Amino acid sequence: SAVISQKPSRDICQRGTSLTIQCQVDSQVTMMFWYRQQPGQSLTLIATANQGSEATYESGFVIDKFPISRPNLTFSTLTVSNMSPEDSSIYLCSVEVRGANTEAFFGQGTRLTVV
């Protein structure tokens, strides 16, 4: 299993500013996943963060807007840059513990409101 501490849990930010979300895992994991979830919607994968290499971004998401750091195997940050109201969403980090069966573990989520 894995326990993920994500912070902040929520924030209200001014447009044009940036917010960095942090996730700390209690064990070493190869990949961490960052998701966005707009109100009432499913999870949309932003990027996969690998330690020691650049993150892999999904279609529609770019590094300039969502820079990611992965300095070690237990920590990652996602920055939402130059925010606009359209960035208001829930952001979630996740890890998948793989073995005979893969199970996902999530941070508590960050509820971002851009005004």
Partner 1 sequence: SQQGEEDPQALSIQEGENATMNCSYKTSINNLQWYRQNSGRGLVHLILIRSNEREKHSGRLRVTLDTSKKSSSLLITASRAADTASYFCATDRGSNYQLIWGAGTKLIIKP
Q: Which residues bind partner 1 (CB under 8 A)?
A: 4, 6, 33, 40-45, 48, 58, 90, 92, 94, 96, 98-99, 101-109, 111
Smaller CB separation from partner 1, 46 or 83? 46
Shortest distance in whole angstroms from residue 18 CB to partner 1 = 21
Shortest distance in whole angstroms from residue 15 CB to partner 1 = 21
Smaller CB separation from partner 1, 13 or 43? 43
Residue owning tokens 């929520």? 10
Distance CA 22, CA 51 (A): 15
Distance CA 115, CA 83 (A): 9
Shortest distance in whole angstroms from residue 41 CB to partner 1 = 8
Shortest distance in whole angstroms from residue 76 CB to partner 1 = 15
